[in-house]
Amino acid sequence: MIQRIENSLSLKFPKKDKKFLVLGIECTAHTFGVGVVNHGKILANVRDMYKPVKGGIIPMESAEHHRDVAEIVYREAFEKAGVSKNEIKAIAVSNAPGLAPCLIAGLEFAKKKALELNVPLVPVNHCIAHLEIGQSVGARDSVLLYASGANTQIIAFAAGKYRVFGETLDSGIGNFIDTFARHVGIAFPGGPEIEKKAKNAKTFIELPYSIKGMDVSFSGMLTKLKKLYDDGYKLEDLSYSLQETAFAMLVEAAERALAHTEKNELVLGGGVACNKRLQEMCKIMCEERGAQFYTLPNDLLVDNAAMIAYTGEIMFNAGIMEKNIEKVDIKPRERTDDVVVEWR
C-alpha cells in the first residue's frame, strides 16, 4: 500500500524551497539512469545503456549491467546537478513495467540509497512517466503516442485513470525495427541506422498495413520485409517503406485517440520518437486537425531517469510515497490502467 499523506506536503516543503529535490532511478530494460529534479526543473539526467554484443537484450545481462554502473551513474548525477545528498527528499524508482531482473537490480539500488539518505521511495510506472514528462515542454492534458522499444501504446488520462486507447498486438515498434535491422546485419539499436538508410531511398514498396481500431501489429510487415530483403530488394527502399507504413499506422491510431478523447494535444514519446520522420508525420496530422504537437529533446524521449524523477516529484507533492521501503516491490507486468492515480 502506498501511503497517502493527507496534509499538503507543500506546507512541509514550501514550493520556494530550493533544497526540495527528488532523485529518480530508471532501470526497466536496457538503460540504467539517475536523474535529479527540483520543482520540475531537470538538474541531471545521466544514463548508461546496456548494449548486447550480439542479438537482442538478455535480461540477466542487462541487470548485471545495471549493478555494474549504478554507483558511477549515481555519483555522476550528483556532480551534474551540483547538489549534495542531504538535499534529496525522496527517491523515485521505475518499479513497473519491465524486465524483472532489471527491475530487481534497480529497486535494490533504490532501496539501498533510500536507507542511506533516510528518504521515502516513490514507485513510478515507466509508461506514465513518458507521458508526464510532456508537461516539461508545456503539454497539459495530452494524448501520448508512446513509441519505444518494448512498448507501443496510445495513452491518455480519462475518467480518473491513464487509459490505453490503442496498442501493439505483437511487438513494440522499436523491437520490430531492431529485429528487421538485425536481419540485415545492423546491430542494436537499429532504429537510427534504418532512419539514415531511409533518406537514400528511391522507391516506395507496398507493405502490410495492419491496424484494427486503434491497435496495430507489425509481425506481418516484419515477415514481408525480411523476405523482400532476402529477394534482393534495396535496404534503403525497404527502410523508407517500413517507416512510411509503420509510422502512418501509429499516426492514424493517435489521430483516432485524439478524436475519441476530444483532447487537442499530442505528445510523442519513447525512443522511436527520436525519428525525425515520425515527428514530422505527427506534426502534420496535428496541424491538420488544429491540435498542439509536443515532442521532447532526445535525452527525454529515450528511457531516462529525469522523467522518473519528474513524475516522482509530482506524486510526492500529492503525498504519494512509501516510507516503509521494504514494502515496495517490482511490478513487471503492471499495465498503465492498473495504476491508481491520486495525483491529478
Interface residues with ligand AMP (CB under 6 A)?
Answer: 148-149, 174, 177-178, 189-192, 195, 270-272, 274-275, 302-303
**Nearer of residues 143 and 328 to ligand AMP, judged by Cβ:** 143
Binding status of residue 303 toward Mg ion by CB under 5 A: yes
Q: How far is the CB of 136 from Mg ion (least distance, A)?
A: 16
Give the separation between CA 12 and CA 15, rounded to whole angstroms: 9
Identify the bridge partners of residue 273 per DSSP, sorted by sequence position: none
Q: Which is nearer to ligand AMP, 166 or 174 (CB)?
A: 174
Name the segment binding Mg ion (CB under 5 A); options: 18-26, 188-196, 275-283, 302-310: 302-310
Closest-by-Cβ residue to ligand AMP is 271
Q: Look up cell 533518406; give the residue.
A: 199
Length of the chain: 344
CA distance 121 to 134: 23
Q: Choose between 78 and 146: whose C-beta lies nearer to Mg ion.
A: 146
Task: Give the shortest CB-95-to-ligand AMP separation in angstroms.
Answer: 17
Determine, following the binding rule CB under 5 A, whether residue 178 of this chain makes contact with Mg ion.
no
- Distance of closest approach, residue 184 Cβ to ligand AMP, in angstroms: 13
Q: Hey, how many other C-beta atoms are within 10 angstroms of the C-beta on 288?
A: 9
Which residue type occupies 14? P
Main-chain phi, psi angles of 139, to 5 degrees: -65, 145
Rounded Cα gap, residues 305 and 308, in angstroms: 5
Measured from the CB of residue 6, what is the shortest distance to ligand AMP in angstroms?
Answer: 36
* Minimum distance, C-beta of residue 148 to ligand AMP, in the bound complex (Å): 3
Residue closer to ligand AMP, measured from CB, 166 or 269: 269
Cell numbers for 63 = 541487470
CB of 1 to ligand AMP, least distance (A): 30
Instruction: Name the β-bridge partners of 88.
Output: 21
Question: In the stretch 325-344, what mask flags binding to Mg ion with x, by CB under 5 A?
Answer: --------------------
Cell of 297: 529533446
Tell me the residue number closest to Mg ion, measured at CB: 148
Supply the DSSP string of 88-113, one letter for each residue: EEEEEEEEESS-HHHHHHHHHHHHHH
> Binding of Mg ion at residue 148 (CB under 5 A)?
yes
Nearest residue (CB) to Mg ion, 178 versus 303:
303
Q: How far is CA 320 from CA 1, 46, 343, in A?
A: 10, 25, 8
How many Cα neighbours within 13 Å face the side chain of 180?
34
- Which spans of this chain sit near Mg ion (rule: CB under 5 A)? 148, 303
